[in-house]
Structure 1
Amino acid sequence: MQPTPYRWLRLVLLLLPLLTAIRAQADNNTLELLHRPWNELLKRYVQPDGRLPYADLAEHDEQLRGYLQALRHVTPEASWTRQDQAAFWLNVYNAYTLNLAVEYYPVQRLGDIKIKTVGGYKPAWEAPEVNVGGKLYSLNQIEREILPRLLPQDARRFLALHCAAASSPALLPEAYDGARLDQQLDAQARRFVNDATRNQLSAAAVQVSSVFDWHAAEFGEKAQLIAFLNRYATTRIEPAATVQYLPYDWTLNDTGASGVMAQQARKH
């Protein structure tokens, strides 16, 4: 069934009174309503193993488009709690990453995407494609400038960001919520650390995601990293355990065939 034309636009028009209220004063109820379309989408599409059916999403993307359109009318205010702001930007980052995969599907990796901007083409992570409150941001700006201010010295944020890759931390199957953010970040860290497809843990040796290597400045050196892992791991890791980093698979975390294979399948 094809999506109803402009259904996503009608959704935004219905949300306009809510968006006005959010600009005036945000509370848990209004923010919950703002993120509800994103929350419902995550619950419907995120699979237990973290993969997503991108072909289905690409054909039924009106809810995602409506949510992104609504974000164009909302600016996080200093009066919001830090947790509400952080939850907001985590949702924004993940929604725009998912949208990139949907918009350019079939694509094998988000790294293959080049977006035309003023002055040439930029990688997906650097292009100012994220529209929040009428202002444009890149995904890298959100990760490297905004979230560190809101979640300083909290390395869990790296496990909450989704890059639509096979080795990426899986999407939490619900929207981030400022009132429950600490519990959600803990749940996400616990899920990722104990995911045997992304980390292999034993008492004497661990092979962990390259995410921990890339962000060693915040996860810490060996002793600090093992302490972090032990906060969440179901397997106790000894302080003297060896640490190795696994290669990162940037292939799209698609439930079906991806890239050229998916394109060929659609032609038959």
Structure 2
Amino acid sequence: MFTFVNRLLILTAVVFSCSLFAAPKADLWDYWQPFADAKAVDIDHQPYQEFLDSYLVVQGQHTLVKYNQVTTQDKQSLKTYLSKMSEVDPHQLTREQQYAFWVNLYNAFTIDIILDNYPTKSITKIGGLFSFGPWDKEITTINGQALTLNDIEHRILRPIWQDPRTHYAVNCASLGCPNLQQRAFTEANTEQLLQQAMQSYISSDKGVLLSNGQLTLSSIYDWFEVDFGGSDGVIDHLAEIRPEVANFSGKVKFDYDWSLNEVK
């Protein structure tokens, strides 16, 4: 018998599946804007770098994580790193330090969440029956302010820096995502890593695939089109690396693979 409850569950499933296509807008959280004029504090990202050195593997166009091989000791080391990062006052960091701080915090917490819920087929399966992923779950408190992954990406990184390359820096633990960088971000290497990540992703099939008269782009360029200056801005951005995209006049398709970025 098809009950009211059945109908409600189906309707709810439809609503949440549609949320796949509704990316959060950049919504500035003013509190996090201040930064130090000069460097006065050093941030030690070495524990996170050691994790990357131990558990990242490049396979084809993907950089994968050996989640199933992470030791209990290394899981704890990652949590200790995150705990120490959460004690930092970002207002004491320069603008360059802050960017690296937030990107590393986002990526390290994403890894930590996967490890706490491993095995899982996709990060989208984490967060409860009616949640599409863990992005709105509180992950830490800094300066007395509770933070989620969405806060870091959409209320801090995107609106404060207004650099579309941020989408190549933060990693959502999925195959369709720009790869997790093999080096922790620092104030010294951020520009290099952003350019490297951008070029790598746009050059890959998961970023841009032109085949048999069909152009398939990562859904990132649909969800966050506004960050690239609209649809024309997306094409101009991609054409910097893939000039053939500028002359394409056919149908454009968007795609994204939410499968976990794991070494199997």
Alignment-derived partner of residue 254 in structure 2: 246
1:242 to 1:192, Cα distance in 2 relative to 1, 3 A: same
Aligned Cα root-mean-square deviation (Å): 2.8
Alignment-derived partner of residue 30 in structure 1: 42
1:165 deviation in Å? 1.0
Paired amino acid for 1:160: A
Alignment-derived partner of residue 80 in structure 2: 66
Alignment-derived partner of residue 197 in structure 2: 188
| In the alignment, structure 1 residue 167 sits paired with structure 2 residue 176 | yes
1:208 deviation in Å? 1.0
SS of the counterpart of 1:83? helix
Q: Which runs of 5+ in 2 are unaligned?
A: 1-35
Q: 1:81 aligns with which of 94, 115, 118?
A: 94
Separation in 2 of the partners of 1:45 and 1:58? 10
Alignment-derived partner of residue 8 in structure 1: none
1:115 deviation in Å? 6.3
Separation in 2 of the partners of 1:199 and 1:147? 24
TM-score scaled by length of structure 1: 0.74
Alignment-derived partner of residue 245 in structure 2: 237
TM-score scaled by length of structure 2: 0.75
Alignment-derived partner of residue 259 in structure 1: none
SS of the counterpart of 2:252? strand
Alignment-derived partner of residue 109 in structure 1: 122
Q: Conserved in 1, the CA contact under 8 Å of 2:216 and 2:255?
A: no
Separation in 2 of the partners of 1:52 and 1:83? 27
Alignment-derived partner of residue 139 in structure 1: 149
Query: How many residues get paired?
Result: 225
Q: Which runs of 5+ in 1 are unaligned?
A: 1-23, 257-268
Percent identity, aligned pairs only, is: 27
Paired amino acid for 2:77: Q
SS of the counterpart of 1:237? helix
Offset from partner CA, 1:173-196 (integer Å, 9 cap, x none): 011112232221111101111112
Alignment-derived partner of residue 219 in structure 2: 210
Separation in 1 of the partners of 2:133 and 2:193? 30
